[in-house]
Amino acid sequence: MELLVRYLDRSNSISSVTTPDVVKEEKLRDDLRYYFMSPCEKYRARRHKPWKMGVQILKIVMITTQLILFGLNNQQVVSYNEETTMAIKNLFLKGYSGVDEDDYCVAVYTQHAVYDSLFYVLDQYSQLVQLSVGPISYAEDEDGKLLPLEICKEYYKKGSAEPSDEVYDIDAQMESVCMSLDPKSAQQWRTLNSSFYNLDFYRLIDIKITLQLKGINLQTVRSRELPDCYSFYITITFDNQCHSGKVKIFLDIDAKSSRCRGWKISGTAQKNTQYLLVFDGFVILVCLTSAVLCTRSIVLAVRLLQRFSRFLRENYNRKVCEDDQSEFLNGWYVLVIVSDILAIIGSILKMEIQSKSLTSYDVCSIFLGTSTLMVWVGVIRYLGYFQKYNVLILTMKAAFPKVLRFCCCAGMIYLGYTFCGWIVLGPYHEKFEGLSLVAGVPVLPAER
Amino acid sequence: MELLVRYLDRSNSISSVTTPDVVKEEKLRDDLRYYFMSPCEKYRARRHKPWKMGVQILKIVMITTQLILFGLNNQQVVSYNEETTMAIKNLFLKGYSGVDEDDYCVAVYTQHAVYDSLFYVLDQYSQLVQLSVGPISYAEDEDGKLLPLEICKEYYKKGSAEPSDEVYDIDAQMESVCMSLDPKSAQQWRTLNSSFYNLDFYRLIDIKITLQLKGINLQTVRSRELPDCYSFYITITFDNQCHSGKVKIFLDIDAKSSRCRGWKISGTAQKNTQYLLVFDGFVILVCLTSAVLCTRSIVLAVRLLQRFSRFLRENYNRKVCEDDQSEFLNGWYVLVIVSDILAIIGSILKMEIQSKSLTSYDVCSIFLGTSTLMVWVGVIRYLGYFQKYNVLILTMKAAFPKVLRFCCCAGMIYLGYTFCGWIVLGPYHEKFEGLSLVAGVPVLPAER
Amino acid sequence: MELLVRYLDRSNSISSVTTPDVVKEEKLRDDLRYYFMSPCEKYRARRHKPWKMGVQILKIVMITTQLILFGLNNQQVVSYNEETTMAIKNLFLKGYSGVDEDDYCVAVYTQHAVYDSLFYVLDQYSQLVQLSVGPISYAEDEDGKLLPLEICKEYYKKGSAEPSDEVYDIDAQMESVCMSLDPKSAQQWRTLNSSFYNLDFYRLIDIKITLQLKGINLQTVRSRELPDCYSFYITITFDNQCHSGKVKIFLDIDAKSSRCRGWKISGTAQKNTQYLLVFDGFVILVCLTSAVLCTRSIVLAVRLLQRFSRFLRENYNRKVCEDDQSEFLNGWYVLVIVSDILAIIGSILKMEIQSKSLTSYDVCSIFLGTSTLMVWVGVIRYLGYFQKYNVLILTMKAAFPKVLRFCCCAGMIYLGYTFCGWIVLGPYHEKFEGLSLVAGVPVLPAER
Amino acid sequence: MELLVRYLDRSNSISSVTTPDVVKEEKLRDDLRYYFMSPCEKYRARRHKPWKMGVQILKIVMITTQLILFGLNNQQVVSYNEETTMAIKNLFLKGYSGVDEDDYCVAVYTQHAVYDSLFYVLDQYSQLVQLSVGPISYAEDEDGKLLPLEICKEYYKKGSAEPSDEVYDIDAQMESVCMSLDPKSAQQWRTLNSSFYNLDFYRLIDIKITLQLKGINLQTVRSRELPDCYSFYITITFDNQCHSGKVKIFLDIDAKSSRCRGWKISGTAQKNTQYLLVFDGFVILVCLTSAVLCTRSIVLAVRLLQRFSRFLRENYNRKVCEDDQSEFLNGWYVLVIVSDILAIIGSILKMEIQSKSLTSYDVCSIFLGTSTLMVWVGVIRYLGYFQKYNVLILTMKAAFPKVLRFCCCAGMIYLGYTFCGWIVLGPYHEKFEGLSLVAGVPVLPAER
């Protein structure tokens, strides 16, 4: 930036002669000086009102409000899913303590306990409607027929020869036996296919029970919105593939939002939703304005740069160096534009969700969240206009590469330690059991 | 302060001539110099005994003593409330583990368990007197009549049409059905309104049981003080508004101190209390003295400033700059006066509480606590009189704005992170569930 | 030390003339220079072998060995006491979970549970010999008579008038009713004084059961040492003084080592003990030597100082300044002497304990521990002889007062925060409940 | 390195004369300069392609891949062992909570509970085959005979005289009574040697039950590998040696991999294993290449040093100083060679394990882990070629001795604190119970 500064400074000293060329040069100098001013100085110089800054402040307020509204809504959905998961685990798993161990729900150690847990699932399933507190019921297919429970057991095949009493003879091939149970006849499950429930534990790999339930999130009814219905795809796995004498029981739930059938909800209006849609539209408008203003600023800056470089080339036969060029491309504007685009996409997704035509909360929250993060980080730019903050920001800029370099060196040692610790200490200490544990990276569970 | 310093220094060099005007100037110089001395130097210069400092030291000792006495008393009340809460939860909640989960006390997952918990409350209530270890009994109204237990269930209204077996037909309107149970006839609750206990779970929003008990804190009797009586307003809520299959049971207690009725306590004297009241009076006296002394110092300082500025205006035609003016307003004196006022209000409240005419422990403790905090912070001022400490304090003063500026920048990023983390990671990880959790702010429970 | 240094430096330049006086001065200079040498330089200068340093190294090894031996022995006693405490709590407390809550063992909330817990204690006591796994039995008095169990209940006195059904009439006076139960007739406790077991809960303050058992620590028999016998003074308290509806049950055990009676242990020799006694004696000898050597060094230094100051006074008429004087009093020697004295006292106590004539493990361990701490800290002195370490130590010396000053300021704010946090937030958050908790000081339990 | 630098610099200035001697000198200079270049500069100077660097990068990738493959395999074995341990503890220990307390599994406090736990072990053992979920069965000796369960109880001998009712008379000598139980007749254990089960608790030291089971890790069958069989040597100890009234029950399992007998597994191929063996062979090849290249570099460097020192001796009669000599021995090369040797040994061990002729996972993982750690640390060297990183590395080199020195001082104080804290506070606070706990060193459990 030295050349630029020198150029601007010199301009003040030799401004006595006023040929047309000098006028043009003076004009350029003025424009350049104006370009590098802060909003405050611009106002003082040309009475230019800081529209852009105003839009940004308005945007911060609106985007944050929108995010909080969406988050609160989202939280309700999440808590419904969580509570239903909890309720289903408590209904179907015998001896469930309320907390999952490691990754499985319950572990059993005796043949008797395996049978007990298995029959408990079937018993609870057959009495579901009398048991459950919530409006959870058997799911139906398109024709309104109740979907059956599927129970499959996977075995290693028996070897060819008839095994003697002591010798276990198995084949590496696996075979699978399944059975399905209609909800209506579920009460008589004991009498149907009773031979199915004899398990050869030494060959057994796993038992999988898959069933499908449906539920309804009535919370929204209170705020006069239409409720969401859910289908729960439940898989209960008795996992014996380790053959260690410990059978781990897993219960996985996959919740999908679906159209409500079999429910008649009267008295809900869409008023609230309409206000929200209007608000979202306004947010999109503000973001568009902000993006347009920033694009315009970038375009103007590029044009100014072209004028300046042409001037230098013609009059002094010098090129604008790269450092000076980069001064013209304001990184903050790019940040604002990116955040605006994200916010607009997020808002559109939000409107779709609000009007129940989409259910991808996750994608929407990533867009809205990232844009809000960027908007807040963008505030730092305005702090940079105050002299003293600027020093701070410049210092941080200078220190950054050194810190990065140090992290790089430390990273190498860290990687070596991670691999070595995992392999050498892994078998002896819990803290070194998995690669991610040694590395200290917390693994996010797929779905709580 | 430069002007001031220069002025004071110059005074020493040209003090040879002694016209009346010079005498006056010399007087002012002396007063100014004296004003900026530490107590120690003042004593050496004019044998002025540091009364103010003595009063401050006495105040620290007395206020701290008073705070500890009040705190110990307060702790007794708090522990009584806590233990009673615990006892009531253990009495009325079936399967209460002794610790609240998240914010609710117990969660149940089956219809059977809901009925069990509900009937358990009623059974325990009807046998209360035979069960409870402490002197907890049914509350009475003004006329001595026992107050009844209220039990309300809130429903979504049924839809207009008669619902078929499979179709759930509800209205967004809510309706509420209540019943009250007299303690005397509580034993026969099963026979009274037995139809009330049939719950339509798919429509049920919540069940609220409100009851009122009374207790007595007899601890104080041992120290010969009159005991406090308490009314406990208990609300037990069976919360099904999420309809997720998990009914959360809340138990909230609102304790209010009240006049003891139905108890005759003989043999308690008020001696202890009288000594305490005298002590409190003495504290108020000391604080008043301290406040008066400090106010006087401020007044004197302002007068001195006026004299100094008039002198400068007349003789040198210069104004005292703002920096120098602020030197005359001693911030420490303001701190002391504020803390004195708080301490006086707190002490008066404490006396009222002691004489059982007020029960607002909270307000009183805020006043007393804040004043004690200020008094101790005020001690730092006296450390500032020692040369070396002063350097420390000045360094801290200088570094403060930089630290603040850094916090400001970090705060922006932090805010962005908080919103983004909450919305994006919230559904996947417990640590990001609530806004306050992401922000790392511990939420104070309303009442333990 | 400047004067001293200058003096020593000058000595080298003007040593040409050799009058008797000069010889004497030269001698003093040599002695002074020698005095401030490190052991290594001393060896090079006068072939003086570093006996003192050798003794110190030997001392470190011996004292650490002794401490570890004593500690291992101590640990055995501690673990016996702990396990017995655990066993007794599990025997006498109904529903004991294995961990104490806050400070009490168990809490009960109903009248029924209080009676149950009370009768459980008596039942278990009466069957003690058939129940306990360890050789725990009823204690006897001097004449061999079994000591009885004492059970006392404390009440508020009834008021004068006959109380009506609803009105509770009590007096602030307390009264106490006791009963004692002979171990032999303990089986019939239900029939004896059966009216005693009717408790008026509204007046009841507490019930105290005191009993005395004896046990024997047979662990030492395996290492051919005589075993220790123990008397356990057990107090079980049912605490209702808060009258909050929660009765807290405390169990306190006071263990005292006592002479073994009723046990005949054959085949134990005292060989091991004798070797230990010889070792302890040797430690005492080494410490004595070390103490004598250091005392001698101090005496020599003081004499040298006297010579030096006399010389300065006579020849130059100057006084040795205080800084230089303090250079002659070597703080390390003082540290060594103090640690030696502590080690000697500790060793003597240890010998007494070894020969079973004392049981004050605590006092002995304080003496031995402190002396070992000092001996290890003393090693830093030898590191100071290496040039580079010295810089480190000097830097730390210089920084110390600043750190202290900062702590002083911080301490004031901290004190204020502690008091304010306790009184204002105490009732709302667990972390601020007690003064010690706010201050962050962990309270050592009296006896685990 | 100053001499060297000076020498190299000077070379440029006086290179005008070109006698044969000068040519030789010029050659040496060139070689020296070339030797101290980075790979990048070497390439620019002599178009020397950086083979060595390429080999290193290939090595990093391959060794890390190998380590991860081995680690995943290892993890499977570890998890099988862990789960089996858990299963066995749950099968044989009555009231096992799933977590070990301190170091024992369960603690019992009454005679009745000891008998219960003991008989539970025998009952479960006799029904083992009907109980266990996994293919865990009684172990056999070489001849196929089932190995019996051994149960031993250790006592203090009775004293000579007949003890009276109250007097306990024991001898320090210990005696041991054993009994063995055949799996086949285990069902009648109650009738066999029934007198054995009368325990004199006051003399009892411990009861040891040793039994042997066998299991099979079928996990590998799914990936078409042969499964490993295991023998489990189980020791259950009822520990009463403290005689404190608390009997601690330990269960130790020693798992040994053994040949599978009594199992016929068909359909497993060794394909996967063969690919792995080829990969391992390739890793060995790469490591050998890398080691050879580095050795060659070291040899060349030593020769260059010899040439240089001879030249200096002959022409300038000066010796190469030690600092300059050490510049020629590249520490990185030594690191690479050591890591290569470790990797080769580790890979050979891994191949042996893969082909089921060895089971020492531990030794192999130490070799592989250490070599991987070294390889990653070695990457830092290449970072050193970039100017800016070099500064960082040099700074760290310079600061290292100071840090070490500080640690030394702190270490002394720390040692003193450790000993003192252990002995003085040990009996009063859990945190100071063991030496390792005070020192803050986590103790690795022998086998999870």
Q: Residue B160 — pLDDT band, cuts 50, 70, 90? A: low
d(CA A250, CA A208): 9
Please, which chains are in contact with B (at least 3 CB pairs closer than 8 A)?
A, C
d(CA C240, CA C153): 11
Q: Residue D447 — pLDDT band, cuts 50, 70, 90? A: very low
User: Which of the 8 DSSP states describes residue A207?
Assistant: E
CA atoms within 13 A on the CB side of B212: 14
pLDDT on residue D448: 34
Whether pLDDT at B50 is above 80:
no
d(CA D287, CA D372): 12
Of D169, D243, D433, Cβ closest to residue C264: D169
Q: What share of chain A is helix, strand, coil (3-state, %, to 5)?
A: 60, 15, 25
pLDDT on residue C14: 47
Q: What's the gap in Å between the CA of D355 and the closest CA on chain A?
A: 19
Q: What is the ipTM of this complex?
A: 0.75
pLDDT digits (tens, 9 = 90+) for C238-267: 998 888 889 999 999 988 887 777 777 776
In terms of pLDDT, which residue wins out, A161 or D329?
D329
Whether pLDDT at D254 is above 80:
yes
> Which residue of B102, B154, B420 to mutate against A (max A Cβ within 10 Å)?
B420
Whether pLDDT at D235 is above 90:
yes
User: Which of the 8 DSSP states describes residue D386?
Assistant: S
Whether pLDDT at B183 is above 50:
yes
How much of chain B exceeds pLDDT 70, in percent?
82
pLDDT digits (tens, 9 = 90+) for C330-369: 778 888 899 999 999 999 988 888 777 777 778 888 888 8
CB contact under 8 A, D107 and C91: no
Q: What's the gap in Å between the CA of A232 and the closest CA on chain B?
A: 12
pLDDT on residue A171: 78
Whether pLDDT at B165 is above 60:
no
- Per-residue pLDDT averaged across C100-106, rounded? 83
Q: Residue B238 — pLDDT band, cuts 50, 70, 90? A: very high
pLDDT on residue C285: 92
D330 burial (CB, 10 Å; 0-12 / 13-18 / 19+) is middle
pLDDT on residue C444: 40
- Burial state string for A321-344 with b = 16 or more CB within 10 A and e = fewer than 16: eeebeeebebebbebbbebbebbb
- Per-residue pLDDT averaged across D330-341, rounded? 85
Q: What's the gap in Å between the CA of C239 and the closest CA on chain B?
A: 11
d(CA C196, CA C178): 9
pLDDT on residue A443: 44
Give the pair of three-digit tokens for residue D138: 């009684």
Q: What is the pTM of this model?
A: 0.79
> Which residue of A218, A350, A375, A392 to mutate against B (max B Cβ within 10 Å)?
A218
Q: From C379, which residue of chain D is nearest by alpha-carbon distance?
A: D412
Of D161, D168, D421, Cβ closest to residue C135: D168
pLDDT on residue A444: 40
CB contact under 8 A, A392 and B405: yes
- Per-residue pLDDT averaged across D256-281, rounded? 75
Q: What's the gap in Å between the CA of D279 and the closest CA on chain A?
A: 19
d(CA C400, CA C392): 12
Whether pLDDT at B375 is above 50:
yes
Whether pLDDT at C165 is above 60:
no
d(CA C67, CA B370): 49
d(CA B92, CA B151): 14
Amino acid of residue C78: V
Rounded to 10 deg, the angle between the A387-425 and D51-92 helix axes is: 70
pLDDT digits (tens, 9 = 90+) for D61-74: 888 888 888 888 88
Do B129 and B139 meet the contact criterion of CB atoms below 8 Å apart?
A: no
d(CA A52, CA A34): 16
Give Dmax over CA atoms of chain B in angstroms: 115
Whether pLDDT at C393 is above 80:
no
pLDDT in 10s for each residue of chain A, 448 residues: 455 556 655 544 444 445 666 777 777 777 777 777 776 777 777 777 777 788 888 888 888 888 888 888 888 888 888 889 999 999 999 988 888 877 888 999 999 999 999 999 988 888 888 888 888 888 888 777 888 889 999 988 876 655 455 566 777 788 899 988 888 877 777 777 778 888 888 888 899 999 999 888 888 777 767 777 888 999 999 998 888 889 999 999 988 887 777 777 776 655 567 788 888 899 999 999 989 988 888 888 888 888 888 888 887 777 777 777 777 777 778 888 898 999 999 999 888 887 777 777 788 888 888 888 888 887 777 766 665 656 666 777 777 777 777 777 778 778 887 777 777 777 666 666 666 666 665 444 433 3
Which residue's entry shows tokens 């179709």? B167
d(CA D106, CA D238): 10
Amino acid of residue D121: V
User: Which of the 8 DSSP states describes residue D194?
Assistant: G
In terms of pLDDT, which residue wins out, B3 or C7?
C7
Q: How far from B136 is each of B250, B261, C245, CA to CA, in Å?
A: 21, 13, 7
CA atoms within 13 A on the CB side of A247: 29
CA atoms within 13 A on the CB side of B207: 20
D72 burial (CB, 10 Å; 0-12 / 13-18 / 19+) is exposed
Of B133, B262, B445, Cβ closest to residue C428: B445
Spell out which residues of chain D touch residue C67, defining contact as CB-CB under 8 Å: 419, 423
Other residues' Cβ atoms within 10 Å of the Cβ of residue B216: 25
Whether pLDDT at D204 is above 80:
yes
Report DSSP letters for D397-424, one per residue: HHHHHHHHHHHHHHHHHHHHHHHHHHHH
In terms of pLDDT, which residue wins out, B335 or A440?
B335
Pick the range with the lowest mean pLDDT from C8-22, C427-441, D34-48, D347-361.
C8-22
pLDDT on residue C448: 34
Q: How far from D22 is each of D5, D15, D18, D33, D307, CA to CA, in Å?
A: 19, 8, 5, 16, 15
Q: Residue B234 — pLDDT band, cuts 50, 70, 90? A: very high
Of D170, D202, D428, Cβ closest to residue C444: D428
d(CA B352, CA D218): 78
Of A109, A170, A243, Cβ closest to residue D90: A109
pLDDT on residue D248: 92
- Per-residue pLDDT averaged across D253-264, rounded? 79
- Per-residue pLDDT averaged across D280-291, rounded? 91
pLDDT on residue D341: 92
